[in-house]
Amino acid sequence: YVSYANAPYKNLTVEKAIQNWIQYEGNVFRFPGGGTQFPQGADTYINQLATVIPLDNGMVRTALDTGCGVASWGAYLFKKNVLTMSFAPRDSHEAQVQFALERGVPAVIGVLGTIKMPYPSRAFDMAHCSRCLIPWFGNDGMYMMEVDRVLRPGGYWILSGPPINWRNNYQSWQRPREELEQEQRKIEETAKLLCWEKKHEQDEFAVWRKRTNCNEQDARSSSLCESTNPDDVW
């Protein structure tokens, strides 16, 4: 729960009512754990991820949540002893980061497309995007390269929402099939160049794992995978 006096913003209780992000009850906000990509709740979504990613044995201890919403994913990961850094842009939902901080989840305001993330290389065991609206396919793979920089070898990247499962969702997303197919193809190509191994794609999310080594001989692959300065991305 978060006291309304600490974060007097009700917009999300109306604008995100269907997703069940947040509810206003009396003089406090309650966070049921809902989300656009996990209407069954964050716990159910995390348990689905745990069938692919070892979240229960201590191998994953740190995570990065891009476009975090009210940070329910990070908050519910506490149950798995995973510490999540969440960040969201400053937009019409200006209270997102404040709600995260009030819930005890580390969070900052940030936009991946403007500056490099303020974290050292290999800082996280897992990175996550749930409808975070980052154009991963754009700028010649720069945004995925930045995720690669902060992921440790053997770390995981989770992508849920567009364009994943576009064949079943393109109509509800009101977007052309061809456009979504092209976006996913570019993401797959960049992931391959980064030496990420695709571990899972089913229903609404996909998971890649950063390899511990890369033996690709392609010139561009080498430039992406074997940088002498992992912090020199931008």
- Scored b (16 or more CB within 10 A) or e, 81-114 reads ebebbbbbbeeebebbbbbbbbbebebeebebee
Q: What are phi and psi of 28, to 5 degrees?
A: -135, 160
Q: What is the pLDDT of residue 63?
A: 97
Instruction: Provide the percentage of residues in the chain whose pLDDT is more than 90.
Output: 44
Assess if residue 129 is contained within a domain. yes
Q: What is the pLDDT of residue 128?
A: 95
Cis peptide before 163 (omega within 30 of 0): yes
Q: What is the pTM of this model?
A: 0.83
How do residues 44-88 score in pLDDT, each as one tens digit? Answer: 889 999 999 999 999 999 999 988 777 888 988 999 999 999 887
Assess if residue 31 is contained within a domain. no
Assess if residue 130 is contained within a domain. yes
Assess if residue 120 is contained within a domain. yes
Assess if residue 1 is contained within a domain. no
Instruction: Provide the percentage of residues in the chain whose pLDDT is more than 70.
Output: 78
Assess if residue 196 is contained within a domain. yes
Q: Which domain holds residue 180?
A: 40-225
Confidence tier at 157 by pLDDT (50, 70, 90): very high
Assess if residue 23 is contained within a domain. no
Assess if residue 22 is contained within a domain. no
Structure-token pair, residue 154: 């053997």
Number of domains in the chain: 1
Q: What is the pLDDT of residue 213?
A: 81
Distance CA 166, CA 215 (A): 31
- CATH assignment of the domain containing 183: 3.40.50.150
Q: Listing from the earlier edge strand, what are the strands of the sheet with 28-30? A: 2-3, 28-30, 23-25
Q: How far is CA 19 from the centre of its chain?
A: 17
